[in-house]
Amino acid sequence: MAVKNYGGEFWNERVRGLAPYTPGEQPRNRRYVKLNTNENPYPPSPLVIEAIKQAADDRLRLYPDPECWELRESIAERFGVQPEQVFAGNGSDEILAFAFGAFFSDKVLFPDVTYSFYPVYAKLWGVPFECPPLNDDFSINPDDYTRGRLHAGVVFPNPNAPTGRSMEVSTILSIAAARKDRVVIVDEAYAAFAQENLSVASYAAADANLLTVHTLSKFASLAGLRVGFAIGNESLIEGLRRMRDSFNSYTLDRLAQAGAIAVMKDRAYDEGVTRKVIDTRERVSAALSSMGFEVIPSDANFVFIRHPAQKGADFFAYLREKSILTRHFNNPPRITDFLRVSIGTDSDMDMFLEACQESR
């Protein structure tokens, strides 16, 4: 659906200068194989559905717990931290927005190829930013975040998006140690899909300047529930709370809290689903490589690929005609020939691979 070009005669200068984030397409019909928004292809735990049903009673007339205390306790137990070191919010995007407003002022650093919401947040809060380029293999160069550029905060996903590449825990901790005077935020939206444990959440609870941000949209199959959380020391959590309560004290409704608590109690389920996604990702990556595609090694629930002969926009359009949605990015120019492809069910990916074979 086209966006109307309003005149905006009553907009202030902040709104006039905004270039909002563009989310992946959400088609109104269901005829597409949907591999464009990194949603989990499998349903959430049955315990989640049951918990939401039980919470949908006359208590909905009451405001939910603004501190999300029971949810924070369940997250803390799963991650081995204290509830006071956990912040819960309306998806990781909201928490990231709060974090940009709370912790960054002089400058913030993030890669030139990364989550495209970061520059939106920086511009919204008026924070200057610098984007060190990824290496030629799309890996992050740690030296770009440990040397020079004083008084600059840092944010990056691990694994990175849209590339899927990851950094080792020791490397991340070295970046945080090198920037003790500024906050380092690690966006762990996709960390559950790595072959090895990449999370630095347990370190964040103890370090003064390290914050991890998480979402239930990916590993827990709850993109429709909008629940995220952050882990850090009590001072950083209080900073997020101050930002939240300056906008809306009740960011997580009663049903969302109930469903999220159930997730934390059914770890075996989401770990089983995650394993299925990882296995499918590895199979698809190998198949694409055998067809001549360039496939960036991924620790996420998606792959970043380049067709051996077609331009990125052309291949994106070809797949769409085949009723397969993927994600194409026009900026920066170095990735315009790549597509980000979410990992679906095995049958979804078989259809995708068949289309890829026919495109050669």
The CATH number for 196's domain is 3.40.640.10
* pLDDT tier at 127, thresholds 50, 70, 90: very high
- 11 — phi, psi (to 5°)? -75, 145
Same domain, 85 and 171: yes
Whats the size of the chain, residue-wise? 360
pLDDT in tens, 130-166: 999 999 999 999 999 998 766 799 999 999 999 999 9
Residue 7 lies in a domain: no
Same domain, 236 and 157: yes
Last residue of a domain, one of 213, 230, 265: 265
Beta strand residue intervals within 54-152, DSSP E: 86-89, 108-109, 129-130
* pLDDT tier at 1, thresholds 50, 70, 90: very low
State the average pLDDT for the chain: 94
- Segments forming the whole domain that contains residue 215: 46-265
Residue 95 lies in a domain: yes
pLDDT of res. 73: 98
Same domain, 258 and 275: no
Residue 14 lies in a domain: no
Same domain, 165 and 238: yes
Number of compact structural domains in the chain: 2
CA-to-CA distance for 198 and 41, rounded, in angstroms?
A: 22
Same domain, 272 and 244: no
Residue 308 lies in a domain: yes
Same domain, 237 and 143: yes
Average pLDDT (44-51) is: 97
Same domain, 161 and 274: no
Share of the chain above pLDDT 90, in %: 87
Name the nearest CA neighbour of 164 among 41, 323, 294: 294
pLDDT of res. 30: 62
* pLDDT tier at 24, thresholds 50, 70, 90: confident
Q: Is the pLDDT of residue 193 over 90?
A: yes
In the block, which residue shows the tokens 């914050």? 211
**Range of weakest confidence among 25-29, 114-118, 235-239, 288-292:** 25-29
Same domain, 290 and 202: no
Average pLDDT (199-216) is: 95
Contacts of 347 (CB under 8 A, 6+ apart): none
Same domain, 353 and 233: no
Last residue of a domain, one of 232, 265, 298: 265
pLDDT of res. 60: 96
Q: Which residue would you say has higher pLDDT here, 22 or 336?
A: 336
CA-to-CA distance for 356 and 52, rounded, in angstroms?
A: 40
CA-to-CA distance for 355 and 324, rounded, in angstroms?
A: 9
Average pLDDT (197-202) is: 95
Last residue of a domain, one of 222, 247, 265: 265
Contacts of 183 (CB under 8 A, 6+ apart): 99, 103, 104, 153, 154, 209, 210, 211, 236
Radius of gyration of the chain (CA): 20
Share of the chain above pLDDT 70, in %: 97
Residue 323 lies in a domain: yes
Report the CATH number that the domain containing residue 273 is assigned in CATH: 3.90.1150.10
Contacts of 220 (CB under 8 A, 6+ apart): 40, 44, 45, 48, 263, 270
pTM over the 0.85 mark: yes
Number of H helices, E strands in the chain: 13, 13
Name the nearest CA neighbour of 208 among 233, 227, 245: 233
Same domain, 255 and 279: no
Average pLDDT (92-117) is: 96
Same domain, 99 and 170: yes
pLDDT of res. 17: 81
Same domain, 245 and 298: no
Phi-psi region of 39 (alpha: psi -120 to 50; beta: other; left: phi over 0): beta
* pLDDT tier at 15, thresholds 50, 70, 90: confident
Residue 1 lies in a domain: no
